[in-house]
């Protein structure tokens, strides 16, 4: 009689190579550097930095997706998020639902019909880290947590982009607190659109990590930086303390669930 040693599959998983880790760190540092530079420039340079921030951020999160979950996850994630965002944004621009009546400025570059190409890449930049966080926090309510976190991110994004003239709304009625130029319907629309996207991604994407897998540090840094940059930027650079406090409080309240889970483990 012999005793066979059993090693769970998860215990055999190792981290990515030092070269891959350095590459991930570099590509993650680029959008952060772009955001640091954002309030310090203006004119055409500001427009280029806006575009570079989104595309480099999307690239960084796609690289993390590949290192964490593999090529199938990467392709499926990109396709679902890109076309979901493009369709929702097209509906939004043409009908005013679900975000309200808005239009994009030509300064955002190449457009597909009335939606700039950079816009779906902004969804790609955020949806992966949000999905990782949502899956960590809850198994049954992933879509709800993910939608709420995407909405909280947009509370920072929209006033910044509206102030820069990247898009505008036409509306009467209720507006987002401390954001008189943005309708309340936009926050509601982001909540429900975000829930829809995260629900689809959660169902369609594999959960199993690669044998040589990147950890969640890049997600932690990116989501934490989003909170820090949004709060500090609005408080000290964009002269919008109300946005800093209101959006910061909502983002922190939602994001803290993930931080708690990362530090202390799942309940």
Question: Taking 80 as the threshold, does the pLDDT of residue 64 lie above it?
Answer: yes
Instruction: For 105-130, write each residue's pLDDT tens digit.
Output: 999 999 998 999 999 999 999 999 99
Instruction: For 173-207, write each residue's pLDDT tens digit.
Output: 999 999 999 999 999 999 999 999 999 999 999 99
* Phi–psi pair at 258, nearest 5 degrees: -70, -45
pLDDT reported for residue 263: 85
- DSSP class of residue 210 equals P
Distance CA 145, CA 201 (A): 13
Instruction: List Cβ neighbours of 250 (8 Å cut-off, separation of 6 or more).
Output: 152, 155
Instruction: Dump strand ranges (E) for 51-161.
Output: 102-104, 111-112, 115-116
Helix (H) or strand (E) holding 2: none
Question: Taking 80 as the threshold, does the pLDDT of residue 267 lie above it?
Answer: no
Structure token pair of residue 254: 């939602």
Instruction: Dump strand ranges (E) for 165-258.
Output: 167-169, 175-176, 179-183
Indicate the pTM of the whole model.
Answer: 0.93
**Is beta strand 179-183 parallel, antiparallel or unpaired with respect to 175-176?**
antiparallel
pLDDT reported for residue 52: 98
Does the bond joining 208 to the residue before it have cis omega, within 30 degrees of 0? no
Distance CA 255, CA 223 (A): 8
DSSP SS3 for 110: coil
Structure token pair of residue 259: 């931080």
Question: Taking 60 as the threshold, does the pLDDT of residue 5 lie above it?
Answer: no
pLDDT reported for residue 9: 47
Question: Taking 60 as the threshold, does the pLDDT of residue 154 lie above it?
Answer: yes
Helices 142-163, 118-137: inter-axial angle, 10-degree rounding: 140
Instruction: For 26-45, write each residue's pLDDT tens digit.
Output: 999 999 999 999 999 999 99
Task: Answer whether 183's CB lies under 8 Å from 155's CB.
Answer: no
Question: Taking 50 as the threshold, does the pLDDT of residue 144 lie above it?
Answer: yes
Neighbour count for residue 28 (Cβ, 10 Å): 23
pLDDT reported for residue 6: 44
Q: What percent of the chain is modeled with pLDDT above 70?
A: 94
């Amino acid at each position: 009689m012999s005793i066979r040693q059993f090693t769970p599959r998860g215990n055999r998983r190792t981290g990515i190579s030092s070269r891959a880790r350095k590459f991930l760190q570099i590509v993650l540092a680029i959008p952060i550097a772009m955001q640091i530079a954002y309030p310090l420039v203006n004119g055409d340079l500001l427009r280029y930095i806006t575009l570079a921030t989104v595309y480099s951020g999307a690239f960084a999160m796609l690289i993390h997706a590949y290192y964490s979950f593999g090529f199938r996850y990467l392709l499926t994630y990109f396709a679902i998020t890109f076309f979901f965002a493009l369709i929702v944004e097209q509906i939004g621009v043409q009908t005013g639902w679900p975000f309200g009546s808005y239009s994009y400025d030509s300064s955002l570059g190449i457009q597909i019909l009335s939606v700039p190409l950079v816009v779906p890449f902004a969804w790609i930049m955020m949806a992966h880290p949000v999905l990782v966080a949502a899956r960590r926090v809850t198994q049954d309510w992933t879509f709800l947590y993910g939608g709420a976190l995407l909405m909280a991110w947009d509370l920072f994004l929209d006033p910044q982009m509206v102030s820069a003239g990247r898009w505008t709304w036409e509306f009467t009625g209720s507006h987002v607190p401390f954001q008189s130029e943005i309708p309340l319907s936009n926050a509601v629309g982001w909540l429900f659109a975000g829930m829809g996207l995260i629900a689809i991604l959660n169902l369609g994407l594999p959960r199993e990590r690669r044998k040589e897998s990147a950890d969640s540090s890049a997600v932690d840094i990116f989501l934490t930086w989003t909170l820090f940059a949004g709060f500090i930027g609005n408080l000290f650079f964009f002269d919008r303390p109300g946005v800093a406090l209101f959006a910061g409080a909502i983002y922190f309240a939602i994001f803290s669930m993930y931080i708690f889970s990362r530090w202390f483990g799942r309940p």
